[in-house]
Homo-oligomer: A and B are copies of this chain.
Amino acid sequence: MDNKTLATPITGPMRLVLLDRSNPVFACYLVWMSLLVLKMLCMSLLTARQRMRTKTFANPEDLRLPKLSEVRFGDAHVERVRRAHRNDLENVLPFMLMSLAYVATGPHPMVARLVIRIGASARVLHTMVYAFIPVPQPARTLAFFTTFLITCFEAIYVLVCCIKYI
Contacts and interface: CB of A to CB of B under 8 A. Distances in A.
Interface of A: 1, 3, 6-7, 9-11, 13-15, 17-22, 24, 26-28, 30-35, 37-38, 40-41, 43-44, 58-62, 64-65, 79-80, 83, 85, 89-91, 93-94, 96-98, 101, 104-106, 117, 134-137, 140, 148, 151-152, 154-156, 158-159, 161-163, 165-166
A83 to B, nearest CB: 6
Contacts of A166: 28, 31-32, 117
Contact of A31 (B33, B93, B135, B159): B159
Contacts of A11: 13
Q: Which of A11, A20, A65, A140 has its CB near the most chain B CB atoms (within 10 A)?
A: A20
Nearest to A85: B90
Q: Which 6 A-B pairs have the closest CB atoms?
A: A27-B165, A34-B155, A27-B162, A34-B158, A28-B165, A37-B94
19 contacts: A3-B9, A19-B20, A20-B104, A21-B104, A26-B104, A28-B162, A28-B165, A30-B101, A33-B98, A34-B98, A38-B156, A40-B94, A41-B152, A44-B148, A59-B134, A61-B135, A61-B140, A93-B93, A96-B97
Contacts of A9: 3, 6-7, 10
